[in-house]
Amino acid sequence: MDTTFDLLVIFFLRLIDVGLSTVRIVLLGRGRRGLATLLGFVESLIWVLAVARVLDGLDDPLRLVAFAAGFAAGTYVGSLVEEWLALGQAMVRIIAPVESTPVADKLRQEGLAATVLNGDGRDGEVRVTFCVVPRKRVSAVLQLIQETNSEAYVTVDQTTSIDLRRLDRGVRK
C-alpha cells in the first residue's frame, strides 16, 4: 500500500509540475512575466518533491515509470488548461473574392474591429479582412464568417500586442 501511494504521489506531483510548466511557457510568450514567475516557483518546488520521492526508492523501477508517466500526463493536461484559458489574442485573416459577401460589417456588428484591404489574388480581385479577436472568441468568429461568406479563405494566427507608449524611450529612434 505504501509503494502504491508513493507511485501515485510521484505521478500526480509530476502531472501538476509539468502542467504548470506548460502554462508558464505560454504565459511568458504572452508577456505575463509576473504570473509566469510565480508558476515557475511553485513548479520547481513540486518538481523537487517528486524527485525526492523517486530518489528515496531508486531501486524501484516503477517510481521511474510513475515519474515519466506523470510528465506525459502533465504535458497533455497543461495543453488542455492552456486551451481552456485561451489567453491572448488571435489575428483572423479573411480572404474572399471582391464580388462575394463582405464579412467586415458582420464583425463590426459583433463589436469587433475589422480592417479591409483590396488586393489581387490568383483568380482576380480579393478583399482581405483583418480582425484581432480574443482567443476565447475565435470559434464564434469563425462560425460567423462561415455563415456570412462560405467562399472565404480564413487563417488564424496567434498575435502579440505591443503598446508603443510603454516602450523605453531609449529603444526607439
Average confidence (pLDDT) per 10 residues, the chain, 173 residues: 88 95 87 90 95 89 94 93 82 95 94 94 93 92 95 90 68 45
Which position has the grid cell 462560425? 143
pLDDT for 169:
56
Q: What is the DSSP letter of 141?
A: H
pLDDT for 91:
95
Q: What is each CA distance from 70 to 24, 118, 163, 167, in whole angstroms?
A: 17, 51, 39, 41
pLDDT for 172:
44
pLDDT for 173:
42
The SS3 call for residue 123 is: coil
- Put simply, whether the predicted model's pTM sits higher than 0.75 gets the answer no
Report the DSSP beta bridge partners of residue 131: 92
Phi/psi of residue 18, each to 5°? -75, -35
Report the amino acid identity of residue 162.
Answer: I
